[in-house]
Amino acid sequence: MSRSESLAAYLRAQAWRRLDRVEADDNGLNARCALALLDTAAYAADLPEDDPLILMLEEAGCFGPLGREGFDPGEAGTKLIRHWEGGEPHELLLALPHAITAAT
């Protein structure tokens, strides 16, 4: 699995996590978050392996020591992803290294 595919799979799983949440008074927040994550997953799946966003995430340590063990943004990155409400797909990917760096 490529790094782009691994990133997309992680984002899709997080989107499904949001869709599975049942909160009667969320005013559509979970659905908006899920759609934003699915949009970012579709964007990420099409990124080439040498895309600057993928390389930046690799440099931030999101792909493991060999770069292909699956996407794991750590606790700070996961928190950002789980609370992402929208924006352009690249904005989330750009925000991840900053969130990870700020947490260390």
Task: Give the total residue count for the chain.
Answer: 104
d(CA 100, CA 84): 15
d(CA 2, CA 35): 23
* Low-confidence residues of the chain: pLDDT under 70: 65-69, 104
What are the boundaries of each domain within the chain?
A: 3-103
